[in-house]
Amino acid sequence: MSLLVMKFGGTSVADPARIRAAADKVAAEVGRGHNVIVVVSAMAGRTNELVNWVSGIAPFYDAREYDAVVSSGENVTAGLMALTLQQMEIPARSWQGWQVPLRTTSAHGAARIVEIPRANIDAKFAEGMRVAVIAGFQGISPEGRITTLGRGGSDTSAVAFAAAFGAIRCDIYTDVDGVYTTDPRISRRARKLDRIAFEEMLELASLGAKVLQTRSVELAMRYGVPLRVLSSFEPTDDTSGTIVCAEEELMESRVVAGVAHSRDEAKMTLMGVQDRPGIAAAIFGPLAEGHVNVDMIVQNISEDGRTDMTFSCPVDQVPRAGRALRAAQEAGAIAFEALVADTEVAKVSIVGIGMRSQAGVAARMFRTLAEEGVNIKVITTSEIKISVLIDRKYMELAVQALHDAFELHAAG
């Protein structure tokens, strides 16, 4: 019997009525002859509530106890979903991470999945269970402690189960009806994509698109798990949502698949840095140790043995970055004349696997922004993406202009 994985996010299971609506979708798949693994998140807002409780009691908390508390939200949802399905006369059972067991590393709060043995769940399917409801986001460490996979980890849980059990597909149910060419809240001409390549989705997710968690897309690409993103709040059929798949499964690759944006960016510049071998390592080593997520990096041409080094990072990490760099300066590891932070910038990116074989994409992007009077502060590129850092006040204008320039509203 074929197996399908269905994942429901927090808004999809926000209360008993929504859990019942999600259970109806599960029942429909059981009726089509599938065994189903359902992965659930905590009810909307519950994880934030639990995190705030922990922080309120112990600002410098024990990460093991943090995981024990914040994982409990998923346990509640899993139990309620299993009870709802049982009331619908569908054989279902809930599973917490340790019961599977979903084995992880010991990195509490950001654990990585090591293994998902199939024996326990397969045995229950053989006994007549039709639905296994899994508490997402959680696992068990080698020491026998509950671990969590980081925020958005239920997506990763779902893809991992689909890979481990050879599922025909992993359906991610959320509050949007698919992956769009850009944020529909910014551009009314945004269009839902029928299909998108893993690589494109991975870039869009890492650049600010909130539809899927980055780690889940990485995992799906590695193991070839087809993903489908669709809405919990609309009727579902075989044409619903967006399929995330291998590039070979696309009929033809558009030059640009989508425009992504990240509003909460900052640009930091170290001025008057000594230009010598190893200076980049001396700068970015302390930033890495300080858990600063550096993205775009630009080094100016050296003059008189001095250069400027610019990088971007999330705006809420600016104080942490400043502390790390000044500490390195005081320790004599680096020398610079000034550290300047611009916290009023945004990142706008275009993504598409068709860029590999199409010339002139960057020129078209830069010309479009110039025509709108948008100044580019930093540029980075990869094989299938171009990102620019601009003043935040121009972000929506830039997204709309690029979406129109590459005609992403048009099908085909």
174 labelled as ligand-binding? Answer: yes
- Which of 67, 149, 69, 38 has its CA nearest to residue 104? 149
Task: Tell me which amino acid residue 35 is.
Answer: N
**40 close to 9: Cβ distance less than 8 angstroms:** no
3-class state of residue 326 by DSSP: helix
Residues 6+ apart with CB under 8 A from 135: 40, 71, 74, 75, 77, 78, 94, 95, 96, 97
**Spatial separation of the C-alpha atoms in residues 356 and 363, rounded to whole Å:** 15
210 labelled as ligand-binding? Answer: yes
185 labelled as ligand-binding? Answer: yes
**Spatial separation of the C-alpha atoms in residues 51 and 66, rounded to whole Å:** 8
Dig out the tokens for 19 from the structure: 């859990």
175 labelled as ligand-binding? Answer: yes
Q: Within a 10 A sphere around the Cβ of 351, how many other Cβ atoms?
A: 26
173 labelled as ligand-binding? Answer: no
- Residue 225 φ/ψ, nearest 5 degrees: -90, 115
Residue 11, judged by CB atoms within 10 A of its CB (0-12, 13-18, 19+), counts as: middle
- Which of 299, 312, 297 has its CA nearest to residue 347? 312
343 labelled as ligand-binding? Answer: no
8 labelled as ligand-binding? Answer: yes
Q: Is the bond preceding residue 101 a cis peptide, omega within 30 degrees?
A: yes
The dihedral sign for the CA sequence 109, 113, 114, 115:
positive
Convert 38-66 to b/e letters by CB count within 10 Å (16 or more is b).
Answer: bbbbbbbebbeebbeebeeeeeeeebeeb
Q: Which residue has the tokens 């709040």?
A: 233
393 labelled as ligand-binding? Answer: no
Binding annotation for ATP: 7-10, 174-175, 180, 185, 210-211
Binding annotation for substrate: 47, 74
Binding annotation: 7-10, 47, 74, 174-175, 180, 185, 210-211
